[in-house]
Amino acid sequence: MSNYKKAIFASGCFWGTEYYLSKAPGVVSTTVGYTGGKLLSPNYKQVSTGSTGHVESVLVEYDPEKTNYKTLATLFFETHDPTQKNGQGPDIGNQYLSKIFYNNEEEKMIAEKLINILKDKGLDVVTVVEPAGEFYPAEEYHQNYYAKNGQSPYCHIYTKRF
């Protein structure tokens, strides 16, 4: 029985989101997938239409003795543009929105506090914070995509914001 915790973040293409989060100290595993919509067990073809309500997201499992939710949420905000309204980089559509899916009130408060810090710095943050729901893993060929293909993200760039 592990004491690992889970967090779910969506910031555009899940390949880039996973790329950065998987490298964070204390992260045990990452799984790319879909969440936030009403369709049961969606697949990539369905989600890519932008009509399912699901966003491409990453489920992060982490060791709370080595990292914490605030550190991961900070990394989330520093590896995408939380001000872009209809996608991320060249990826446009509802399936690429910036969202944080919280598991409890503490995570919600941390996410909202980070958003307020960014807004105080003049950023028009559009990241949505909502309760976590069912998470559906994506097809195997999407898992650890950049690690498998020896590439780097094209729409996620690290930018220090805090």
Question: Strands 55-62 and 5-11: what pairing?
Answer: antiparallel
Confidence of residue 147 (pLDDT cuts 50, 70, 90): confident
Domain locations in the chain? Answer: 5-149
Whether residue 154 is predicted with pLDDT greater than 80 in this model: the reply is no
Q: What is the pLDDT of residue 150?
A: 81
130-139 per-position pLDDT tens digit: 999 999 999 9
Average pLDDT over all residues of the chain: 95
pTM for the predicted model, two decimal places = 0.95
pLDDT for res 1: 58
Strand runs labelled E in 63-141: 87-88, 91-92, 98-102, 128-131, 135-137
Summarised one tens digit per residue, pLDDT across range 67-124 is 999 999 999 999 999 999 999 988 999 999 999 999 999 999 999 999 999 999 999 9
pLDDT class of 152 with cuts at 50, 70, 90: confident
For residue 2, name the pLDDT band (cuts at 50, 70, 90).
confident
At residue 156, does pLDDT exceed 90? no
- Would you please indicate which residues are annotated as catalytic (active-site) residues? 13
> Can you name the residues that pair with 34 across neighbouring β-strands?
56, 136
Q: What percent of the chain has a predicted confidence (pLDDT) above 90?
A: 88
Smallest CA-to-CA distance from 59 within 72, 50, 44 is with 72
Nearest CA to 111 out of 14, 40, 8, 41 is that of 8
Classified as helix, coil or strand, 117 is: helix
Dist. CA 111–CA 128, nearest whole Å: 9
- Answer whether residue 155 shows pLDDT above 80: no
Q: Confidence class of residue 23 from pLDDT cuts 50, 70 and 90?
A: very high
CATH 3.40.30.10 fits 5-149, yes or no: no
Q: Please tell me the distance from the alpha carbon of residue 97 to that of residue 14, in angstroms, as a whole number.
A: 11
